[in-house]
């Protein structure tokens, strides 16, 4: 009997908390409008800039930006400023650089929510200075929520900025603090996958008073106690948000009311080679090396094409740089060997294509490196390549420029003059 009462009280509390985050449409009750997507695979928001809020909707209250980022402030009872992306993502990675608000009963919340009531949370409570809470829901099922939330240690979240990240794939969900995985839920562990978050979600960030005196005792206790508004204002800060969508598309549509990932139709889907990245100012970034070829003559008639794949992890990018450098060195040696020996290369064996990483699945918990490092590594590799005789080959200062200017003629002329 005692356990039943405890469970009933806790379930009632979590029902109230969950009600704070009602979806825009309940996909189980009716046919919902299509979920607006985003064809950019990777978007970064610098929330110290007001313009970064252009793709976010403010649902209540006012948000201002400053040197510490977007400010979410409770000035009085009833305040709950919140922002939400105006698009959905379907599996991906979300990182938020946040400093939580102090104050008993004050909840600094970063969460994702779908029309099927799937939810993933970070919640920092103002009265707890050494931990915060992780939660998830599947299909709005709160019957076992006391097993679905955990406390995770974190150093003074109300005074220090920390980077809080989700890595959400079809197989598992991880919570990461400052680059360290602190919790992972496998799909099969969530009632055989039926309660695993698996439908398109929007990112939501906000602050609210779980300790408001008007709330039921269970909610106030969960929030850490009753909020004293005489100590307002209470402010949380969010400096940046980084979003990677594993399934960039124009929209997502529920084909039935099952709430399963299989029921989601992807409209206007964009492959990894077509999606682009952007910063909050809309600057496009490309990150992939697509191909590199060697002509039958053994001379460097190479083409370097670029394709965007902004959902690439740090490990993948590093691996590709190393692979690219190795290919460039090998190609340069082949070029020099063919010219010095006077031999020709059979066309069937002369083409070497660099691998392109097209998968959106993360290979590490790291976030995404700047694409300029890839270009720099390629330039360095081409300029440092050596011929088989030990002579440094420096056709041009840039591999791309060499290709455009017809470096094979310049290289051949330089080699002939060298022998003379």
Q: How far apart are CA 259 and CA 33, in angstroms?
A: 14
Q: How many CA atoms lie within 13 A of 14 on its CB side?
A: 19
Give 179-218 pLDDT, tens digit per residue: 999 999 999 999 899 999 999 999 999 999 999 999 999 9
Tokens standing for 261?
């990932």
Question: Which pLDDT does position 33 carry in this prediction?
Answer: 87
Task: Show which residues are catalytic.
Answer: 119, 123
Highest mean pLDDT among 101-110, 278-287, 369-378: 101-110
Question: Which pLDDT does position 22 carry in this prediction?
Answer: 62
Residue with tokens 């978050």: 197
Q: How many CA atoms lie within 13 A of 71 on its CB side?
A: 11
pLDDT of 400 higher than 50: no
Give 336-385 pLDDT, tens digit per residue: 333 333 333 333 333 333 333 333 333 333 333 333 343 344 334 334 43
- CA distances (Å), origin 50, targets 53, 54, 63, 207: 6, 8, 9, 19
281 found inside a domain? no
Give 13-67 pLDDT, tens digit per residue: 444 444 356 667 877 777 888 999 999 999 999 999 999 999 999 998 899 999 9
Same domain, 70 and 117: yes
Domain boundary among 221, 251, 276: 276
Q: Which residues contact 3 (CB under 8 A, 6 or more apart)?
A: none
Identify the weakest region by mean pLDDT among 253-262, 263-272, 278-287. 278-287
Do the Cβ atoms of 234 and 71 come closer than 8 Å? no
Question: Which pLDDT does position 376 carry in this prediction?
Answer: 42
Which residue(s) pair with 166 in the sheet? 94, 175
Same domain, 88 and 211: yes
Same domain, 133 and 212: yes
Query: Average model confidence (pLDDT) for the chain?
Result: 72
pLDDT of 162 higher than 60: yes
pLDDT of 326 higher than 60: no
Same domain, 271 and 308: no
Domain boundary among 249, 276, 303: 276
Q: What is the CATH number of the domain that holds 195?
A: 2.60.120.200
Same domain, 105 and 189: yes
Question: Which pLDDT does position 2 carry in this prediction?
Answer: 35
Identify the weakest region by mean pLDDT among 132-136, 166-170, 231-235, 360-364. 360-364
- Band (86; pLDDT cuts 50, 70, 90): very high
Backbone angles phi, psi at 317, to 5 degrees: -65, -45
Question: Which pLDDT does position 274 carry in this prediction?
Answer: 63
Measured from the Cβ of residue 180, the count of other Cβ atoms closer than 10 Å reads 9
Measured from the Cβ of residue 8, the count of other Cβ atoms closer than 10 Å reads 11
pLDDT of 317 higher than 50: no
pLDDT of 138 higher than 50: yes
């Amino acid at each position: 009997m005692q356990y039943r009462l405890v469970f009933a009280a806790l379930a009632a509390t979590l029902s109230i908390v969950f009600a704070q985050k009602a979806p825009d449409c309940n996909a189980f009750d009716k046919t919902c409008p299509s979920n607006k997507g985003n064809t950019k695979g990777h978007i970064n928001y610098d929330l110290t800039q007001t313009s970064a809020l252009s793709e976010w909707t403010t649902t209540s209250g006012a948000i201002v930006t400053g040197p510490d980022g977007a400010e979410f402030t409770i000035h009085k009872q009833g305040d709950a400023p919140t922002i939400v992306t105006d698009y959905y993502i379907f599996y991906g990675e979300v990182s938020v650089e946040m400093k939580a608000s102090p104050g008993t009963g004050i909840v600094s919340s970063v969460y994702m929510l779908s029309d099927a009531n799937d939810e993933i949370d970070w919640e920092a409570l103002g009265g707890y200075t050494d931990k915060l809470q992780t939660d998830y829901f599947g299909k709005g099922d709160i019957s076992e929520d006391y097993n679905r939330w955990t406390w995770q240690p974190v150093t003074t979240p109300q005074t220090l900025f920390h980077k809080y990240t989700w890595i959400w794939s079809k197989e598992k969900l991880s919570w990461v603090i400052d680059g360290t995985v602190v919790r992972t839920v496998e799909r099969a562990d969530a009632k055989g996958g039926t309660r695993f978050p698996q439908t398109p979600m929007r990112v939501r960030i906000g602050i609210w008073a779980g300790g408001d005196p008007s709330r039921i005792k269970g909610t106030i206790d969960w929030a850490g106690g009753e909020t004293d508004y005489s100590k307002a204002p209470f402010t949380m800060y969010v400096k940046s948000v980084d979003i990677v969508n594993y399934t960039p598309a124009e929209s997502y549509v529920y084909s039935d009311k099952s709430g399963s990932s299989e029921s989601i139709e992807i409209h206007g889907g964009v492959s990894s080679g077509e999606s682009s990245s952007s910063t909050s100012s809309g600057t496009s970034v490309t990150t992939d090396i697509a191909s590199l070829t060697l002509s039958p003559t053994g001379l460097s008639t190479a083409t370097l094409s670029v394709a965007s794949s902004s959902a690439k992890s740090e490990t993948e990018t590093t691996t590709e740089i190393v692979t690219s450098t190795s290919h460039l060195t090998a190609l340069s040696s082949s070029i020099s060997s063919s010219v010095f020996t006077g031999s020709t290369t059979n066309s069937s064996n002369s083409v070497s294509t660099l691998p392109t990483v097209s998968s959106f699945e993360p290979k590490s918990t790291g976030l995404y490196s700047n694409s300029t490092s890839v270009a720099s590594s390629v330039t360095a590799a081409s300029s440092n390549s050596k011929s088989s005789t030990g002579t440094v080959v420096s056709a041009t200062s840039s591999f791309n420029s060499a290709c455009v200017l017809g470096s094979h003629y310049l290289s051949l002329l330089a080699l002939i003059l060298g022998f003379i």
